[in-house]
Amino acid sequence: MKIYKFDSIIVGGGLAGVRAAVEIASKGYKICLLTLLDKLIRSHSNAAQGGIQASLANTTESIGDDWRVHAYDTIKGSDWLADQDIVEEVVKLAPFLIREMDYWGAVFSRTDKGLINQRQFGGATYPRCVFASDGTGHVLMNLIESRATCLNIPVFSRRQALSLILDGVKVVGVTTLNLVNGEIEAFLGNAVILATGGAGLLYKETTNARTCFGDGMTIALETGLAQIGNPEFVQFHPTPMPPRYILATEGCRGDGGVLLNSEEKEFMWDYSSMKGNLASRDVVSRSMMREIVAGRGIEGFSTTHLWLDIKRLGYEHVATKLRDVYFLCRNFIGVDPTKEYIPVRPAQHYTMFGVKTNKRCEAYGIQGLYAIGECACWDLHGANRLGGNSLLETVASGYIAGQKILENLAKDKIQICKDGLVEDEIKRQETRIKNILGKKDGENVYRLFSEMRGIMSQNAGIFRNGQDIEIGLAALNKIFEKTANVKIDCKEIALNLELQLALRFSGMAKIALCVMKSALLRTESRGSHWRDDFPKRDDKNWLKRTLASFPIGVQEPEINYEPVKITLLPPGDRGYGEKK
């Protein structure tokens, strides 16, 4: 039984987690990072291609841009479901965070004058997306890992978080499974920060990586105390490339690429008269699916898809500014984007939902618990996230959570918790693992998992309606009942992929239930949540945020609502000219 003690514990080694760690460690506090993977740089943050939004207003194209415009764009994008005081704080902070990262040594693309360059992104009024070719996430991950190396932050790699250790309503640490030797360990600290990213693997067609299980959300939800904010809002990216849904960045359209249907027509202007190809992601995804349903899709690449044309930008541009897209197209789908169109079809990309936190990133319901990045519902993105705001959220929430924790650490440094509490929790987890390993017959976890993903894609996808969701909910309930009866074939504790999935599966099923149920209850269409039976936005009844929780011993989620903070911009038209 290994017990480690630190000032605070960060679960997750992505951009948000490491940014918070850097903030705290730079003041000399002891902090540790837990990651599922072998090295920080492997985290999924590094797959972010497009860029990070900040109103630097330093180039001729972006003169006139300031934090207000950025805030309005974000709020319009969110369909007025974002908390506007948080939006204000984050967009005001953005230029500072960018320049700080540049000062630390980030390699952003430059203008001819040597200033930080920016590109146009969907839903943005000005070109405001700071980028590094199209490997922005990779460059930032490199940078932040170099900061962590510089500050000598201990990284515990190949650890899977199993549960939060609670003392009443206060969190005192986490238990983890050491994937390499199968030992259960406890990490104790005054604060626990969840930075485990989104839960994209709930869906069958997703652009997310293999570790995007949403572990942070599941362990928080399984305490029965934490709440998941806005679970019905899931973003579908317009331009992943089938058959494996590898992302072609939004920068393709930002730089002038266009979407075409089977008649090679630029159809987006029919759906969004004002922004065309650069409407927000939910609008573009829906329009694309409508084109496909109307029979103007193209068969091929194991599905029905549309075309993305970037060959019109010319070889020079594609090979330099969109280099990773060029690379991915050639190697993964065998298409040369400088000569041919790229096949694209919308797929799950981002989960706007997450552990609900307040303005200072503190989770609702559990003291000492913080959630940042995609894992949290802060709520910066509301009903739909704008491209480039996710990277901004990671660094901004990391910074703000770090500041808040520093404030708390300065006040009290000593951690007191009841005797035996930690040992009990470790024993509980050991019994849980023993039970799973000891089961002789039951359900195959891989089958259940893929069944669940199928249901989510089918019944809680881009277009939803009451009937489908009810069918989905019934099917999910059946799966959830079976989660207690999961059996696995490989009987080892260490290095067992099947066990790793079985341990997190019941929590994932709970999140899926939250998504399905709150999608059923929200009888309007807002942002990424589209109901065929209620195609209008309903500000009178639904300008409020969903809060889902899963009290222990209950079979289905409890749904509550809270009002949205409107401080800058009252609800109005999104200005994309979307035809409904």
CB 254 within 8 A of CB 238: no
Residue 503 touching other proteins (CB under 8 A): no
Find the part of the chain contacting other proteins (CB under 8 A) among 18-26, 386-394, 413-421, 482-490: 482-490
Q: How far is the CB of 251 from other proteins (least distance, A)?
A: 15
Strands of 369-371's sheet in order across:
155-156, 31-34, 8-11, 191-194, 369-371
Residue 450 phi, psi (nearest 5): -70, -30
Q: How many residues are listed for the chain in this entry?
A: 580
CB 224 within 8 A of CB 267: no
Residue 564 touching other proteins (CB under 8 A): no
Q: How far is the CB of 240 from other proteins (least distance, A)?
A: 10
Residue 328 touching other proteins (CB under 8 A): yes
DSSP 457-493: HHHSSSEE-HHHHHHHHHHHHHHHHHGGGEE-S---S
Per CB under 8 A, which of residues 74..103 are in contact with other proteins? Answer: 95-96, 98-100, 102-103
CA Rg value for the chain: 23
Query: 3-class SS at 563?
Result: strand
Residues 6+ apart with CB under 8 A from 458: 468, 472
Task: Please pick, from the candidates 27, 30, 42, 311, the single residue that binds other proteins as defined by CB under 8 A.
Answer: 42
Q: How far is the CB of 303 from other proteins (least distance, A)?
A: 11
Find the part of the chain contacting other proteins (CB under 8 A) among 152-160, 391-399, 406-414, 478-486: 152-160
Spatial separation of the C-alpha atoms in residues 161 and 178, rounded to whole Å: 9
Q: Which of 119, 128, 237, 345 is catalytic?
A: 237
Q: Which of 147, 159, 253, 545 is catalytic?
A: 253
Residue 316 touching other proteins (CB under 8 A): no
Task: Please pick, from the candidates 28, 60, 299, 331, the single residue that binds other proteins as defined by CB under 8 A.
Answer: 331
Q: How far is the CB of 572 from other proteins (least distance, A)?
A: 33
Residue 63 touching other proteins (CB under 8 A): no
Q: How many CB atoms lie within 10 A of CB 162?
A: 26
Find the part of the chain contacting other proteins (CB under 8 A) among 139-147, 284-292, 416-424, 431-439: 139-147
Find the part of the chain contacting other proteins (CB under 8 A) among 155-163, 368-376, 416-424, 432-440: 155-163
Residue 138 a catalytic site member: no
Q: How far is the CB of 291 from other proteins (least distance, A)?
A: 23
Residue 37 touching other proteins (CB under 8 A): yes
When the beta carbons of 161 and 519 are compared against other proteins, the nearer one is: 161
Q: Which residues pair with 558 in a beta bridge?
A: 549
Spatial separation of the C-alpha atoms in residues 509 and 512, rounded to whole Å: 5
Spatial separation of the C-alpha atoms in residues 531 and 534, rounded to whole Å: 5
Query: 3-class SS at 392?
Result: helix
When the beta carbons of 123 and 388 are compared against other proteins, the nearer one is: 388
Residue 484 touching other proteins (CB under 8 A): no
* Per-residue H/E/C for 402-426: HHHHHHHHHHCCCCCCCCCHHHHHH
Residue 31 touching other proteins (CB under 8 A): no
Q: Where are the alpha helices (DSSP H) in 497-577?
A: 497-521, 539-542
Residue 108 touching other proteins (CB under 8 A): yes
Q: Which residues pair with 163 in a beta bridge?
A: 175
Task: Please pick, from the candidates 4, 66, 107, 562, the single residue that binds other proteins as defined by CB under 8 A.
Answer: 107
Token readout for 215 is 């572990």
Spatial separation of the C-alpha atoms in residues 129 and 132, rounded to whole Å: 10
Residue 70 a catalytic site member: no
Per CB under 8 A, which of residues 253..292 are in contact with other proteins? Answer: none
Residue 47 touching other proteins (CB under 8 A): yes
Q: Indicate the DSSP class of residue 296.
A: I
Token readout for 499 is 């066990």
When the beta carbons of 274 and 490 are compared against other proteins, the nearer one is: 490
Of 98, 236, 102, nearest in space to 529 by CA: 236
Per CB under 8 A, which of residues 156..215 are in contact with other proteins? Answer: 157-158, 180, 209-211
State the residue for tokens 């970037």.
Answer: 310
When the beta carbons of 11 and 56 are compared against other proteins, the nearer one is: 56
Residues 6+ apart with CB under 8 A from 541: 523, 524
Spatial separation of the C-alpha atoms in residues 140 and 52, rounded to whole Å: 10
Residue 498 touching other proteins (CB under 8 A): yes
Amino acid type, 500: Q
Residue 336 touching other proteins (CB under 8 A): no
Q: How far is the CB of 297 from other proteins (least distance, A)?
A: 18
Per CB under 8 A, which of residues 228..247 are in contact with other proteins? Answer: 243-244, 246-247
Task: Please pick, from the candidates 111, 273, 467, 523, the single residue that binds other proteins as defined by CB under 8 A.
Answer: 111
Task: Please pick, from the candidates 156, 327, 437, 487, the single residue that binds other proteins as defined by CB under 8 A.
Answer: 327
Site string for other proteins, 338-367 (x = CB under 8 A): ------------------------------
- Considering CB under 8 A, how many residues would be counted as binding other proteins? 72
DSSP 316-354: HHHHHTTHHHHHHIIIII---TTTSPEEE--EEEEE--E
Residue 534 touching other proteins (CB under 8 A): no
Per CB under 8 A, which of residues 419..448 are in contact with other proteins? Answer: 446
Q: How far is the CB of 114 from other proteins (least distance, A)?
A: 3
Of 56, 129, 140, 128, nearest in space to 92 by CA: 56
Q: How far is the CB of 521 from other proteins (least distance, A)?
A: 34
When the beta carbons of 482 and 545 are compared against other proteins, the nearer one is: 482
Residue 426 phi, psi (nearest 5): -60, -45
Q: How far is the CB of 150 from other proteins (least distance, A)?
A: 4
Q: How many CB atoms lie within 10 A of CB 443?
A: 20
Find the part of the chain contacting other proteins (CB under 8 A) among 256-264, 362-370, 431-439, 493-501: 493-501
Token readout for 341 is 């169109």
Residue 562 touching other proteins (CB under 8 A): no
Residues noted as catalytic: 237, 253
